[in-house]
Amino acid sequence: MEPGKRLPGKIAIVTGGASGIGAETARTFALHGASVVLCDMQDDLGAGVAQEIVDAGGAAEYRTLDVTKEDQWIALVADVERKYGKIDILGNIAGISGRPANMTVQASGVMTGTGLAEQTLENWNRIMEVNSTGVFLGTKSVIPAMQRARGGSIINISSICGIVGSFANAAYHASKGAVRIFSKSAALQYAKDQIRVNSVHPGFVDTPMARPGLLGNESGKARMDATPLGRFGKPSDIALGCLYLASDDAAWVTGSELVIDGGMTAN
Please work out, in degrees rounded to the nearest 5, the angle formed at the alpha carbon of residue 157 by the alpha carbons of 153 and 161.
145
pTM given for the model: 0.92
Plot region of 213 (φ>0 → left; ψ -120 to 50 → alpha; else → beta): alpha
With a CB cutoff of 8 Å and minimum separation 6, the contacts of 198 are 153, 154, 155, 156, 183, 187, 245, 250, 253, 254, 255, 256, 257, 258
Question: Residue 195: which of 155, 225, 153 has the closest Cα?
Answer: 153
Plot region of 206 (φ>0 → left; ψ -120 to 50 → alpha; else → beta): beta
Q: Which amino acid is at 264?
A: M
C-alpha distances in Å from residue 169, one per residue of 24, 106, 116, 154, 267: 26, 15, 7, 27, 21
pLDDT at 3: 67
pLDDT at 211: 64
pLDDT at 114: 61
Domain ranges of the chain: 11-260
pLDDT at 2: 60
Q: State which H helix or E strand residue 111 sits in.
A: strand 111-112
Q: Are 229 and 203 in contact (CB under 8 A)?
A: no
Q: What is the pLDDT along the chain (267 residues), one digit of tens a residue?
A: 566 899 999 999 999 999 999 999 999 999 999 999 999 999 999 999 999 999 999 999 999 999 999 999 999 999 999 999 999 999 999 999 886 544 444 333 344 456 888 889 999 999 999 999 999 999 999 999 999 999 999 999 999 999 998 877 899 999 999 999 999 999 999 999 999 999 999 999 988 776 666 665 667 777 788 899 999 999 999 999 999 999 999 999 999 999 999 999 998
11-260: CATH topology is Rossmann fold (3.40.50)
The pairing of strands 111-112 and 104-105 is: antiparallel
Active-site residue flag, 84: no
The pairing of strands 195-202 and 89-92 is: unpaired
Helix residue ranges per DSSP H, 97-234? 121-128, 134-148, 170-190, 218-225
Please work out, in degrees rounded to the nearest 5, the angle formed at the alpha carbon of residue 87 by the alpha carbons of 83 and 88.
145
pLDDT at 245: 98
pLDDT at 259: 98
pLDDT at 102: 46
> Among the options 84, 172, 190, 244, which is catalytic?
172
pLDDT at 111: 43
Question: Residue 101: which of 75, 79, 120, 76 has the closest Cα?
Answer: 120
Q: How many CB atoms lie within 10 A of CB 68?
A: 17
